[in-house]
Structure 1
Amino acid sequence: MNDGSSDTEGRLARIERLLESGEREVAPAWRRVTHGEPRWAVTASILVAVTLQSKLPERLTLSPSWALPVLEVVLLTGLIAANPRRVELRNKRLRWLGLALICVISLANGWAAAQLVRGLVNGTEGSNAGALLLTGGNIWLTNVIVFALWYWEWDRGGPADRMMGHRQFADFLFVQMQSPEAAPPDWEPAFLDYLYLSFTNSTAFSPTDVMPLSRWAKMLMMLQSTVSLVTVVLVVARAVNILQ
């Protein structure tokens, strides 16, 4: 236990030394050691996703309907307790805890989307256009948050590895990386950038100003576009049919 604490303290001391050195002038912030990003954005987005899932009809949720939202809150509480203000260095257990949280949110939303699509195809869902649009919008927005979390957690090894500058080859190419003169010298991608990436991919069904470079990034964006397209097309088509 003490060895782990000493190792963490040593890495934090290295960060402080590098931040105080002249490395700032050598490489852009996204390529060098920096402080961890503030936690508030990712925490707020997860709470929004949990709230949205708790509002879904019980027929679209795994039974009991309260179980997964409660589990998500418990996992999130553990992450906040470990790093309350910033997403700082994490051990492997915290890394797996964060991935488990995203998996649970993904499972809950994937199940809801699958049940909704099956109900629309079988004609058992969508008797009320307004309720259908609200449910579809709920699942679509949660899907945006889910994929933003995956992009944020995997790009260049995750937030902790990005903070340490461990991986120099980016999985996502942001505009500020191509044109550093268009951004402040301390700019580096944070969760809100990945949330924007996820939102535009769900609305345009293709990359906009952020390009996927690695194969896993391309496959994940393709999966998100597919889920979003199927959900939107089926929900809107059924709603228009009801209104007519």
Structure 2
Amino acid sequence: MSSSPQSERSEHRLPAIAALLVALALYATLPSTFWPPLRFSVVAVGVVAMIPLIALNPARMHRETRWSKYVSSGIAFLLVAANLVAFAQLVTQLVTSTSDDGPRLLLAALQVWLTGIIAYALVYWELDRGGPVTRRHAGRESMPDADFRFPQDEDADAVKEVATQSSEKTGWVASYFDYFYFSLTNSMAFSPTDTMPLSIRAKALMALESATGFILLGLVIARAVSLLK
């Protein structure tokens, strides 16, 4: 049986679910000094909440209800908030711990950084233009205002080989990997790269991600240098 046009247009669920599982695994395996009750509670909530979301859209995301939107957005924001708590604990430990704890804390810093990249990408993915279901199925005239501007949104008047991939000519909209990519670059460059924030909430989230990434990098470098002495 062939897929319907609506199903083919819908975004595949697998990339976002796989990313969330990786983030939960990274968060769950942080050292025991990172408050286990919070870590395991967040992981349990995340895993349980995924079950009805997958049941609603097992393969492609073509259906959405008010509760499913609240649950999927809630998981993303919960992971960001929980990772910020882990970030605060990590900063404290990097500043006050002994040299014997160095390797363990450097690994924990990598886990916190990667978890943050995935978590912020999930938040951006859920917020921008109404979320993954609305972006694929609402007409341009009825789509909510954009939080982010991608290069494809303004390439219609570029040279032919570039313009053919523009959203105006192909109907392109961002998928989870697009948000993951600019979350990664925002965390590494501490500033927007190819994707620009448009709304206040988008700027606030990207600023928070950049600031935590900058602080973490500075402390990790300092800790690494101290281990070499």
Q: By the TM > 0.5 criterion, same fold?
A: yes
**Structure with higher RCO (Cα < 8 A, 6+ apart):** 1
**Structure 1 residue 63 displacement after superposition:** 1.5
**Structure 1 residue 130 displacement after superposition:** 2.5
**Structure 1 residue 62 displacement after superposition:** 4.3
**Structure 1 residue 59 displacement after superposition:** 1.2
Match status 1:175 vs 2:151: yes
Alignment CA distance shift 1:118-1:182 (3 Å): farther
Match status 1:222 vs 2:201: no
Alignment CA distance shift 1:241-1:90 (3 Å): same
Match status 1:137 vs 2:110: yes
- The answer for unaligned runs of 5 or more in structure 2 is 157-162
Alignment CA distance shift 1:126-1:221 (3 Å): farther
CA distance in 2: counterparts of 1:46 and 1:94, whole angstroms: 16
Correspondence for 1:155? 128
Structure 1 residues 188-218: Cα deviation after superposition (integer angstroms, max 9, x where no partner): 2101000001000000000111111122111
Question: 8 Å contact 2:30–2:108 — kept in the other structure?
Answer: yes
Equivalent position to 1:127, from 100, 119, 122: 100
CA distance in 2: counterparts of 1:89 and 1:223, whole angstroms: 31
Equivalent position to 1:82, from 56, 80, 86: 56
- The answer for unaligned runs of 5 or more in structure 1 is 1-14, 20-33
Question: 8 Å contact 1:201–1:224 — kept in the other structure?
Answer: yes
| Corresponding residue SS for 2:173 | coil
Alignment CA distance shift 1:222-1:101 (3 Å): same
Letter in 1 for 2:152: Q
**Structure 1 residue 242 displacement after superposition:** 2.0
**Structure 1 residue 186 displacement after superposition:** 4.4
CA distance in 1: counterparts of 2:184 and 2:178, whole angstroms: 10
CA distance in 1: counterparts of 2:171 and 2:134, whole angstroms: 17
Correspondence for 1:71? 45
Correspondence for 2:219? 234
Alignment map for 1:188-203 (pairs within 5 Å): 188-203=173-188
Question: 8 Å contact 2:94–2:219 — kept in the other structure?
Answer: yes
**Structure 1 residue 137 displacement after superposition:** 0.6
**Structure 1 residue 55 displacement after superposition:** 1.2
Letter in 1 for 2:196: M
CA distance in 2: counterparts of 1:168 and 1:93, whole angstroms: 19
TM-score normalised per structure 2:
0.85
Structure 1 residues 152-177: Cα deviation after superposition (integer angstroms, max 9, x where no partner): 11001211221213326422111111
Letter in 2 for 1:235: V
Task: Using the aligned pairs only, state the percent identity.
Answer: 38
Correspondence for 1:22? none
Question: 8 Å contact 2:77–2:123 — kept in the other structure?
Answer: no
> RMSD between aligned alpha carbons?
2.1
